[in-house]
Amino acid sequence: MKRRDFIALTSSSIALATMGHATTGDFEITRTEAEWRAMLTEAEYLVMREEKTERKFASPLNNEKRDGVYHCRGCDLALYSSDTKYDSGTGWPSFWDVLPNAIGTKMDNTFFTTRTECHCRRCGSHLGHIFNDGPQPTGKRHCLNGLSLVFQAV
């Protein structure tokens, strides 16, 4: 590969990787960067607004076993029921289904692969990714950052 082709490919990959952060778009709930930073820790901000990923096995929600509902930390929208949570062995809270009208998705072309990114449909906060290796009945694995979620026991 010629140097100029490599630079063009790399530039395109970087552009794709930085396009379409969850912080852009039309959402019911919008906040300025300063407002988000005031309400979130630095780690929460990086995950929810910059689409970073928390370290595996870092979230206490990975081991949460009680009945309840997982809400968006950014706007308190109910997203996932504990009825669909399972131990995927990946180190992140995982669910095989989502509550109705809770999330939005988009293609994520970072890390030289295409994945389905999921975000809160109401405020756009990044939640994680959806993979096709989950249990039935959906066959999906919603692999989420615990920092994006707040658990409410019932």
Write down the residue that tokens 């990787």 correspond to: 17
- The rounded distance, in Å, linking the Cα atoms of 129 and 92 is 11
Catalytic-residue membership of 143: yes
Looking at residue 18, its pLDDT comes to: 34
Q: Are 90 and 145 in contact (CB under 8 A)?
A: no
**Closest by CA position to 50, among listed 12, 23, 16, 25:** 23
Looking at residue 110, its pLDDT comes to: 80
Kindly give the confidence (pLDDT) of every residue in the chain, 154 residues in length, as a single tens digit, with 9 standing for 90 and above.
Answer: 444 443 333 333 333 333 344 455 689 999 999 999 999 999 999 999 999 999 999 999 999 999 999 999 999 999 999 999 999 999 999 999 999 999 999 998 887 788 999 999 999 999 999 999 999 999 999 999 999 999 999 9
**Set 118, 120, 123, 143: catalytic member:** 143
Q: Are 125 and 117 in contact (CB under 8 A)?
A: no
**Domains observed in the chain:** 3-153 (2.170.150.20)
Instruction: Please state, as a whole number, how many other Cβ atoms lie within 10 Å of the Cβ of residue 110.
Output: 15
Report yes or no on whether pTM surpasses 0.75. Answer: yes
Q: In the β-sheet with 103-108, what is the strand arrangement from edge to edge?
A: 85-86, 94-95, 141-144, 126-131, 115-120, 103-108
Looking at residue 24, its pLDDT comes to: 56
